Structure formats: structure tokens, C-alpha cells
């Protein structure tokens, strides 16, 4: 059964009101921190932090490298709200539950979302530490009929059917490329297509070979449900993957990808990612 209507518009509104009563600032920009990228939220000043377990009706974060709190604050003077830790399907939550914070953000006044994730690099040129601006995605879970927008449509957020060709805002992508040039990091900034799998296991060699043939550049287990929910609600979206490891597509390669490496790559790129996100927010 689909229980997406558990989070009625009114219930989500009551959560947004609960938060608004406790915070003075009214952010229009939301940021989601991927695995190992939680420290993006540490840059904020005038912070107001809410562990997910204290917010009414919020799911709990269960993955290492995901703090599990909502952080309000200012980034160089601009009010923002950060999800320091996100929800993944493999944690046992349905997708509509994983992406409910996006609707809460929308009701708080957020109209622009910056989504980050750690992903495996499938494109042969990609190296760990590369930043891939997302220009599109392949929603493998959606192929199989799993989508956060399932259930009775809530028109107050958006229409039943949504076009996806402009989901990853071109102007924001171009701006990110310009920032990369200014920062002198364009040699490791890419633009590509992300595919989402349900996880929690990393992909098999056969799965990766299949995806590579289909034009996929990076793979992960998040982001797409958030982008769908945000795009449905009319938010402008900028998303990027930090390439945390190379995908193994060769049966003679004994290297095994692991979550610790994923988190370490995030730490290594911390300063530059903070700078990129800050400049995107200041736009």
C-alpha cells in the first residue's frame, strides 16, 4: 500500500511552522549534504541546529557520515538551511518519506536547492576527487515503478505530471562552470549523468557495464528522489556528485569499493566544495 498521504499538506505545514517558531531567519536556499560532505554545514554562522529526532514526524538518519540534523544559518550573510545527513531508500524508508524534508523546506520558503552526493565514477576519464555537475539522471528505481511522487498528487506542491528536461537548471550549471574557472579547478570539474540504484550494496560489474553502455557517468543511491520532489514543487536545482571512487568494471580487478573511502574523499575535497557551494549561494 502507498502511504504517501501520511504527510498531508497540513501535517507538513505544521512541521514547517514548528521550525519557523524556533528560527528567526527565512532561508530561500536549501542545501543537502552528501556522504562525507556534512562539514559544508559547519561553515554557517548564526547556526540553529535541530537533530532530526527532535523535529516532529521526521525520519531518523542511520548512515555513518550523515550527521542527522537540520542546520539553519547564514553562508556569508545569506540565510540557508542545510540537511546535514539525508535519507536513503536502503535505510528502510519509502521514497516519499526520504524526500519529505524537501517539502518542509518548500513550506519554509526555500525555492532553490543545492544537492550534493558522493558517487562512483563510471566514465573512464573520471578520477576520485573529481566534481561532476549533474546535467541529468537515470532513475532506475523509477523504471521499476518506485517514485517519491506516487500516490494522490498534492496540487498545492505541483502538478501530477512533470517534464524533466529542465530539472537541472542550465543557468546554475553554467554558473558553476564559471566559478570552477575562477577557482582554477576546471581540470577536475565534469558534467554528466547520474544513475540511482536502491543500494545498499555497491553495483556489480555486470550492472556497471550495462549502465556505462547507457551513457551513465556516475552512480549512487540518493539525490534523484530529492530532485523529483523539488522539481515537482518548482524549485531551481543545482546538483553535483563528488566522485569518491572509481567503479570496478573489470573481472581481473580485485579492488573493492568501501564506504570509508567514500567519506575520506569527501574530507579531502572539503575546502574546495565549501567554496563552490558558497559561491553558488552568493549568486
By CB under 6 A, name the one of 27, 52, 86, 134 that touches ligand R1P: 86
Burial status of residue 254 (CB atoms within 10 A of its CB: 0-12, 13-18, 19 or more) = exposed
Answer yes or no: 259 catalytic: yes
117 binds ligand R1P (CB under 6 A): yes
259 binds ligand R1P (CB under 6 A): yes
Q: 216, 241 in Cβ contact below 8 A?
A: no
222 binds ligand R1P (CB under 6 A): yes
277 binds ligand R1P (CB under 6 A): no
Q: 89, 77 in Cβ contact below 8 A?
A: no
34 binds ligand R1P (CB under 6 A): yes
Answer yes or no: 88 catalytic: yes
Coil, helix or strand at residue 69: strand
Q: At its nearest, how many Å lie between ligand R1P and the CB of residue 117?
A: 4
Choose the binding region for ligand R1P from 15-23, 47-55, 215-223, 224-232 (rule: CB under 6 A): 215-223
C-alpha–C-alpha distance, residues 217 and 196, integer Å: 11
71 binds ligand R1P (CB under 6 A): no
Nearest C-alpha neighbor of 73 from the set 108, 98, 48, 95: 48
CA distances from 118 to 38, 131, 249, 252 (A): 11, 9, 18, 25
Answer yes or no: 61 catalytic: no
Q: At its nearest, how many Å lie between ligand R1P and the CB of residue 242?
A: 8
Q: At its nearest, how many Å lie between ligand R1P and the CB of residue 111?
A: 23
128 binds ligand R1P (CB under 6 A): no
Choose the binding region for ligand R1P from 49-57, 144-152, 180-188, 216-224 (rule: CB under 6 A): 216-224
By CB under 6 A, name the one of 131, 189, 195, 262 that touches ligand R1P: 262
Q: 231, 209 in Cβ contact below 8 A?
A: no
Alpha helical stretches, state H, the chain: 9-22, 95-98, 100-108, 140-143, 170-183, 205-213, 224-232, 259-268, 270-282
Q: 113, 236 in Cβ contact below 8 A?
A: yes
Ramachandran assignment for 210, one of left (phi > 0), alpha (psi -120 to 50 degrees), beta (any other): alpha
* Catalytic one of 4, 61, 99, 222: 222
Active site amino acids: 35, 66, 88, 90-91, 118, 221-222, 245, 259
Binding site for ligand R1P (CB under 6 A): 34-35, 63, 86, 88, 117-118, 199, 220-222, 259, 262
Amino acid at each position: 500500500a502507498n502511504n504517501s498521504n501520511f504527510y498531508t499538506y497540513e501535517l507538513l505545514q505544521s512541521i514547517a511552522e514548528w521550525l519557523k517558531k524556533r528560527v528567526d531567519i527565512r532561508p530561500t536556499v536549501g542545501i543537502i549534504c552528501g556522504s562525507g560532505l556534512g562539514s559544508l554545514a559547519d561553515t554557517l554562522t548564526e547556526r540553529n541546529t535541530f537533530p532530526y529526532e527532535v523535529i516532529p514526524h521526521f525520519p531518523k538518519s542511520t548512515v555513518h557520515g550523515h550527521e542527522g540534523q537540520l542546520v539553519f544559518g547564514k553562508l556569508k550573510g545569506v540565510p540557508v538551511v542545510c540537511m546535514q545527513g539525508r535519507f536513503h531508500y536502503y535505510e528502510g524508508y519509502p521514497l516519499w518519506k526520504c524526500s519529505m524534508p524537501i517539502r518542509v523546506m518548500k513550506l519554509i520558503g526555500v525555492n532553490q536547492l543545492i544537492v550534493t552526493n558522493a558517487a562512483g565514477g563510471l566514465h573512464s576519464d573520471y578520477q576520485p576527487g573529481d566534481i561532476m555537475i549533474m546535467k541529468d539522471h537515470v532513475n532506475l528505481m523509477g523504471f521499476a515503478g518506485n517514485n517519491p511522487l506516487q500516490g494522490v498528487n498534492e496540487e498545492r506542491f505541483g502538478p501530477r505530471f512533470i517534464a524533466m528536461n529542465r530539472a537541472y537548471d542550465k543557468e546554475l550549471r553554467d554558473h558553476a562552470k564559471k566559478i570552477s574557472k575562477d577557482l582554477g579547478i576546471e581540470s577536475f570539474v565534469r558534467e554528466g549523468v547520474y544513475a540511482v540504484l536502491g543500494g545498499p550494496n555497491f553495483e556489480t560489474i555486470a550492472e556497471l557495464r550495462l549502465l556505462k553502455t547507457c551513457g551513465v557517468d556516475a552512480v549512487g543511491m540518493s539525490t534523484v528522489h530529492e530532485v523529483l520532489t523539488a522539481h515537482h514543487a518548482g524549485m531551481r536545482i543545482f546538483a553535483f556528485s563528488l566522485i569518491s571512487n572509481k567503479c570496478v568494471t573489470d573481472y581481473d580487478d580485485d579492488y573493492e569499493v568501501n564506504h570509508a573511502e567514500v567519506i575520506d574523499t569527501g574530507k579531502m575535497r572539503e575546502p574546495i566544495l565549501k567554496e563552490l557551494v558558497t559561491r553558488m549561494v552568493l549568486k
